[in-house]
A and B are shown apart, each in its own frame.
Chain A
Amino acid sequence: MLKEDIYPQVKKIIADVLVIEETDIKPESRLIQDLGAESIDFLDLVFQLEKSFQIKIPRGQIEKNARGALSEAEFEQNGALTEKGLAALKSYLSEVPNEYFKSPMKLNDIPMLFTVETFCKLVLAAMQEKKASEPVA
């Protein structure tokens, strides 16, 4: 399955969670800056995505996916991303334009970068993980 396949459903859920029109949403829309999401909306969004796609999205999963093989200490120190951490984040969030990344980048500022496409990727990764963990008949 591709991001494009799940995009319509993700868009519909985002519109429902943020009580906005689907026509206002584009793949590159940032949830906080462009669509007005608050922290409680992320909680709601993850909950609705889990329910709709029957997946599990643990807290901090985007950061974990971005961190990849890096250790926590290699990824961040004192609440800010290291150089390696920032590079890993930029690589993972390839859909986010480079100018949106700050340097130094605080961990708490990472959600400001999330776009609709970021959540499509997150759902897709969770779906693949679920499929991989299912027993082969």
Chain B
Amino acid sequence: MRFLFVDRIIKLNEGKSICGIKNITHDDAFLDNSFSKPNFYFSIVGETLGQLAAWNIMQHSDFKLRPVAGIFASIRFYRPAFVGETLFLEANIDSLQENAANYHGKAYVNGELVLSLDNALAPMLPMETFIDSTLVRDQFNQIYRPLSAHSSPTSRSHDLIADNPAIKSWERDVGKNAPPYFQFDQINSLVKNQEIIATKSISLAFAYFLDHFPKKPVLPLSVLIECTHNLTKFFMSQSDIRGFRLAEISKVKIRDFIQPGDHIICHLKLKSQDSNQLIFQATIILDDKKIGIFFLTFIKEA
């Protein structure tokens, strides 16, 4: 299971902007089967966009530094990206300093917005702490295949999928659970319509640690977000709340690395609720210390 997602970098303006593509195929490991057709997990679309921005930033530093996901103002989700579709990704670097990078980006399928990411602020850390810089440089060279000036970006969608009304309505097959790596292991407590507390133990056995990162395995923020997303869905089902879908993750901040051997606790609270919107606050606790916080906004499904 790889945890590198950009298939090809098609345009790069060093330190400023970058465009890339990702084909969603049945060979992809991170497919969400809770919709009527398999699609790329929302959080992994966000991860892919973050990785695209990171390629530009790392190349700009001659692979001496790497940005590490830490703070996001907002990640908005518009529609799933299904197997057979191609994600077109673009990221813009708003500021690049020795200690931090600030960027934003968008992901599209056939010109239709899939996800937008605003105000990502990533601390810059020495590359060699996490991964051999030669390996990263080689990985970059494998995928950096810019389009010629006359080419247009590849963004295709299988007609059968695009024309399937069941997919357009995002019909869910309720009951299909997320894979274990996208779930908390244990529910510690649950108060319907109020809060849920759950624990996840981090094992070196998780395959994504091979890429994230060989020298210093740390839990990807996107995995933590997806676990929390699934915990929220479980909480809603237990609270008889139905017909809502994730629209935004906001005010995301992770203050420390989560590593193999750690046990994290997620304290998820329903902060506000009306007929159209639910807002949850997730607090992540490691060793009695509050190391992460973010908000999940669910909106009524159309």
- What is the interface of chain A, defined by CB distance below 8 A to chain B? 19, 36, 38, 40-41, 43-44, 47, 59
Since A41-B253, A59-B97 are in contact, a sample of 20 more A-B pairs with Cβ atoms closer than 8 Å, ordered by chain A residue number, is A19-B251, A19-B253, A19-B293, A36-B290, A40-B70, A40-B71, A40-B253, A40-B255, A43-B70, A43-B71, A43-B99, A43-B100, A43-B121, A43-B123, A44-B71, A44-B253, A47-B100, A47-B102, A47-B121, A59-B98
CA distance A40 to B121 in the complex (A): 10
Interface-central residue, A41, A47, A59, by most chain B CB under 10 Å: A47
Q: Mark B85-122, 1 if CB is under 8 A from A, else 0.
A: 00000000000011110100000000000000000010
Q: A40 contacts which chain B residues (CB < 8 A)?
A: 70-71, 123, 253-255
Report 20 cross-chain contacts, Cβ distance below 8 Å, ordered by A residue. A19-B251, A19-B253, A40-B70, A40-B71, A40-B254, A40-B255, A41-B253, A43-B70, A43-B99, A43-B100, A43-B121, A43-B123, A44-B71, A44-B253, A47-B71, A47-B102, A47-B121, A59-B97, A59-B98, A59-B99
Asked if B14 is an interface residue, CB under 8 A from chain A, the answer is no
Q: Count of B residues near A, CB < 8 Å?
A: 16
Q: B99 contacts which chain A residues (CB < 8 A)?
A: 43, 59
Q: A43 contacts which chain B residues (CB < 8 A)?
A: 70-71, 99-100, 121, 123
Asked if B256 is an interface residue, CB under 8 A from chain A, the answer is yes
Q: B255 contacts which chain A residues (CB < 8 A)?
A: 38, 40-41
With both beta carbons as reference points, the residue of chain B lying nearest to A47 in the complex is identified as B121
* CB proximity of B65 to chain A, nearest CB, Å: 14
CB interface residues, B 139-166, toward A, < 8 Å: none
